[in-house]
Amino acid sequence: MSHFTIKQGVLHAESVALPAIAEKFGTPAYIYSRAALEAALQEFLDVLSAHPAGNDALVCYAVKANSNLAVLNLFARMGAGFDIVSGGELQRVLAAGADPQKIVFSGVGKTAAEMKLALDTGILCFNIESPAELERLNDVAGQCGKTAPVSLRVNPNVDPKTHPYISTGLKEAKFGVAYDDALALYRRASALPNIEVAGIDCHIGSQLLDPAPFVEALDRILALVDQLTAAGIRIHHLDLGGGLGIKYKDDQVQPTVASYLNPLLDKLAGRGLKVVLEPGRRLVGNAGLLLTRVEFLKPGEGKNFAIIDAAMNDLIRPALYKEWHDILPVTPRSGEVRAYDVVGPVCETGDFLGLARPLCIEAGDLLAVMSAGAYGMSMASNYNVRPRAVEVMVDGDQVFQIRRRETVAELYAGEQVLPA
């Protein structure tokens, strides 16, 4: 069910017409649906609770997908944990009400200061991605007088069949520990005085629409778990990572959470392993859109351009990954349809949100860039000294500003010129 629908000829977020939001908050604006966010998480919770292997599972939302405090707080209220990749994300989730014992810390470059902060916070687990990181964590934990719970992020070398920039489980990836090296590194971890082996972690990629690679990866991970058990190393939890994709365009089929999880849970039945999941995009991607206004129409001999007030600094996925987002007129018109490149005002040829889109539009019209709830605002920048967009949450017929629009003065408030 989509929570963004046309009603009486106008696109709505839940019960609120998008033009009303534009009038009150301006554009560009990120707009999220509370109902869509809660429904996405609830789908995971329902599937897990219905399966014996998922009864005590923990869903740790991947904060990098969308780190707004209101989004984090909604998930925390529903009992979710969080997958973080920096000390900054740790402080964000704590500010949003996270339970420290539901936080897992991933990422390849954890600093000593970040490790100390996480140890002092009392997080659930560190996902270790290299031998050097393991040694550093042992040293930091010893200095703090603490024991660090760890799992190793193991690369099963499974091809997730997704964009190369978001394939993370192949042997050539910067992430994780090579499968063939994992047993030796677990032995080392077990021997270190300030380390406690807690689990095993696997994340093969993002935006996966075929659940088959998840099953293949799990088979390899479970074979390693059996080797660890034989070596006397007990694994308490299995972190299956995230990566389940969403539907960005009509020709894509979005897999259900049940079709993804149930085959995995079936393989885990009777093993006594606590399941940890790290969904990000799947929880927020289709729960948000980017609202923008057409500034000019610029016809040309080879192309027609619709120049909008949003840009690649607001939503970089089309420019960075060449990825598709549906672009819909907020108030559809009848008339001549033309193919437009939908481009922003940033001084880059690659500043586009969509190419050759069939649209019937005029200057001043509002457009909705759909499926923008994930890796939109969280990857936004101030390139060309552009303040980042306002963020709002729709809850039924109510609208809440959950992050105000930046001002230009704020962008250089921390800078100063040299003395005369």
Instruction: Return the structure tokens found at 266.
Output: 């079936």
CA distance 154 to 204: 9
Provide the total of helices (H) and of strands (E) in the chain, helices listed first.
Answer: 12, 21
Rounded CA-CA distance 241/19 in Å is 38
Told to judge if 360 belongs to the known catalytic residues of this protein, a careful annotator would answer: no
State the distance between the two ends of the chain, measured CA to CA, in whole angstroms: 62
Instruction: At 120, list the tokens.
Output: 């002092």
Backbone angles phi, psi at 160, to 5 degrees: -80, -10
The two tokens of residue 180 are: 């063939």
Q: Is 259 helix (H, G, I), strand (E, B) or coil?
A: helix
Q: Phi and psi for 272 in degrees, rounded to 5?
A: 70, 25
Task: Say if CB 33 and CB 368 are below 8 A apart.
Answer: no
By DSSP bridging, strand 352-359 and strand 398-403 are unpaired
Q: How many CB atoms lie within 10 A of CB 111?
A: 12
List 125, 144, 347, 360, catalytic entry:
347
Helix axes 34-49, 69-77, angle to 10 degrees: 40
Q: What angle do CA 288, 292, 297 make, to 5 degrees?
A: 145
Q: Which two tokens stand for residue 329?
A: 């007129």
Q: Are 290 and 372 in contact (CB under 8 A)?
A: yes
Please report where in the chains the tokens 């603490």 appear, as a residue. 146
Closest by alpha carbon to 341, among 321, 312, 314, 313? 312
Burial class from Cβ neighbours inside 10 Å (0-12, 13-18, 19+) for residue 114 reads buried
Report the catalytic residues: 347
